[in-house]
Amino acid sequence: MSTYAAIHAVVCQIPLGKVATYGQVAELAHLPGQARLVGYALYLIQAQTDQVPWHRVINAKGKISYSSARQGMDYLQRSLLEQEGIDFSPEGKINLQNYQWHP
């Protein structure tokens, strides 16, 4: 299995209404310390497929990682998470105690 396929396989396991961090996905894909690689792998596929729920992966601070390079996909990410019932604080944070996936 390729590195990206391993990342995608982990992300596909995150259930509706839950999130995982980039680092958590890296660990579960047997890629410790490769959180940035997870982000890049998901950046390459976001909005190109509905088979990998890329929007359920957030940073370790419980926030969406906003970037102009994502061409507005970060706003779509928030919208998709809100549609799944995930609440954001006024500061834009997700309470990981409530919403983090624990496989």
pTM above threshold 0.75: yes
Mean pLDDT of 1-18: 95
22-71: pLDDT as tens digits: 999 999 999 999 999 999 999 888 656 668 999 999 999 999 987 766 66
pLDDT value of residue 49: 62
For 95-102, which contacts have Cβ atoms below 8 Å and span 24 or more sequence positions? 95/62, 96/19, 96/21, 96/62, 99/17, 99/18, 99/19, 100/18, 100/19, 100/20, 100/21, 100/24, 101/13, 101/14, 101/15, 101/18, 101/19, 101/20, 101/24, 101/56
76-101: pLDDT as tens digits: 899 999 999 999 999 999 999 999 99
Structural domains in the chain, sorted by start: 3-99 (1.10.10.10)
